[in-house]
Structure 1
Amino acid sequence: MRPARPADVEAIAELRAVVMRPDLERLGRYDEHRVRQRLRDGFCAQHTSVITTAGDFAGSVALRPSETGHWLEHFYLAPALQGRGLGSAVLGTLLSRTDTSGHLVRLNVLQGSPARHLYERHGFTVERQDAIDVFMLRLPGAGPGASANRTTVG
């Protein structure tokens, strides 16, 4: 992982549109412009990392501080790289940092998204949900993110 730069916003916005399209279409919420603009509007390079493999852009993840801990946001991996353990390694690395600092982590995932299983494996539990989103919470030290035997990246 490397720190994001302001110039990364368009590559991340495009990846977001590709990755989220199936779930947003299933939920009847896909809008070609809005899916990209929401990323642009909320992008903060200071809290975002670009995920690379062999020097190539592979995805992004943001860990934004909040009053009660952190929000995990904009976690996208190129579809060809999903299901190979990269997302789990990235998540494990971030969660080891929040565990060390004693911070809880929140996120939201779309209803029915396969990404929810990744988050559950790393100790996230459902805090609340609505027709579109599942809001999840992870206390410090929960799940495999607290294990010293996991793969790390970065």
Structure 2
Amino acid sequence: MADWNIRPASATDVEPVAELRAVVMRPDLERLGRYDPDRVRRRFRDAFDPAHTWIIEVADTFAGCVALRPAADAHWLEHFYLAPRLQGTGIGTAVLGTLLTRCDHDGVPVRLNVLQGSPARRLYERHGFHVETEDPVDVFMVRTPPRPAGPLPLPPPSK
């Protein structure tokens, strides 16, 4: 696996990520009959929030992105895209593991949605995500943090 790092996103990252999104999602969106080259980029631009997004770099070069948006009951893992040439190299697994460790430390569940038939679903299942609901296009998944190691606390004494 190549050396990688993540850095906070900035507003200037929007176009490279929108372009990567279009490339990465195209096969699944075409299979589902939903690919529109303008829409796939516009939807990212409209949702992009650099405050909750990280840029993945390999050898100091843009390689992908991932967002972790806080919500009332969980964090939403969004916009997880990795350049096709780097998929299957272990980088996505390492990035996801790093983010999930942070969420586990805080005791926060993580939610996401993945397109029906996407190979990314296997990555998420390997990391403990399970299906909550699905429709003809999307599969909504959740991962609850593992229970902390160690003994369970004792119940209060009865009176």
TM-score (norm 2): 0.89
Letter in 1 for 2:43: R
Paired letter, 1:119: Y
Q: 1:11-70: per-residue Cα shift (whole Å, max 9, x none)? A: 000000000000000000000100000000000000000000000000000000000010
State the AA in 1 paired with 2:48. F
CA distance in 1, matches of 2:136, 2:37: 21
Task: Specify every segment of 5 or more residues in structure 1 that has no aligned partner in the other structure, as ranges.
Answer: 147-154
Task: Tell me how far apart the structure 1 counterparts of residues 65 and 42 of structure 2 sit (CA, whole Å).
Answer: 16
- The answer to whether residue 72 in structure 2 is matched with residue 101 in structure 1 is no
Identify the residue that residue 130 of structure 1 maps to in structure 2: 135
Q: Deviations over 1:89-112 (max 9, x none)?
A: 000000000000000000000000
2:85 is aligned with 1:75 = no
SS in 2 for 1:80: helix
Tell me how far 1:141 sits from its aligned partner: 2.1
Are 1:24 and 2:29 an aligned pair? yes
Aligned residue runs from structure 1 range 48-67, under 5 A: 48-67=53-72
Q: CA RMSD in A?
A: 1.1
Aligned-partner residue type, residue 131 of structure 1: P
Larger Rg: 2
Alignment of 1:135-154 (within 5 A): 135-141=140-146
Q: Alignment identity in percent?
A: 68
Name the counterpart of 1:42: 47
Correspondence for 1:85: 90
The list of structure 1 runs, each at least 4 consecutive aligned residues, that deviate by more than 4 angstroms after superposition, is: none
**SS at 2:114 equivalent:** strand
Residues paired across the two proteins, number? 143
- Partner of 1:33, secondary structure, is helix
TM-score, normalisation: structure 1: 0.91
